[in-house]
Amino acid sequence: MADAEEPEKKRRRIEDLTEKMAVDGGHRDGGCDWDGRWNHVRKFLERPGPFTHPDFEPSTEALSGFRLIHVVDMDTIDVSNLNRQFLFRPKDVGRPKADVAADFINSRIPGCKVVPHFKKIQDFDESFYRQFHIIVCGLDSIIARRWMNGMLISLLSYEDGVLDPSSIIPLIDWRNGGL
């Protein structure tokens, strides 16, 4: 019976969230709020993905549903970063990119915790990477991208030649990304 109640409970929670997410676009007369305006948000929140973790639940505090994020970057902020990366300000020049990014997000999104790591991705072992449900890379180096891909492949588990799906950690390669 509890299982039958779960979809209804989730549907009501999603409806509550989408109502709270409504943005009026600066108009207070209600003229820009219409039926179905937020259907795309509902579709995004309700559509299960092949790698959706059972603990994932969207919230108004952390709209993506990700509440614990680790940022790994070995670089410091240079003046040349200021015109192309919105998180950084002139006062940040010389500081680690991971620290500044974490401070920025932590100060603006309650319920979301970003943990910075001012290191190379290669400075971490298997146990570090095994803790994640998904990894998003914004790596500039092809060598670093290959290293990360190799690390995640090495974490795959097989039993009798059959891949254990729970050992898969999806990798999103954001090639134009980086901090």
R_g over Cα of the chain: 20
Print pLDDT tens along the chain (179 aa).
Answer: 555 566 677 667 666 655 555 443 334 444 445 566 556 656 555 655 665 666 666 555 555 667 889 999 999 999 998 988 888 999 999 999 999 999 999 998 888 899 999 999 999 999 999 999 889 998 888 999 999 999 999 999 999 999 998 899 989 887 655 55
- pLDDT of res. 23: 42
Cβ–Cβ < 8 Å for 87, 100: yes
pTM score:
0.65
Tokens 């500039």 found at: 140
**Structure token pair of residue 43:** 């579709």
Strands (E), the chain: 68-72, 113-117, 135-137, 158-159, 162-163, 171-173
- pLDDT of res. 86: 84
- pLDDT of res. 28: 40
- pLDDT of res. 125: 96
- pLDDT of res. 25: 39
Tokens 């500044």 found at: 100
Which of 114, 121, 153 is closest to 138 using CA atoms? 121
- pLDDT of res. 172: 87
Cβ–Cβ < 8 Å for 70, 101: no
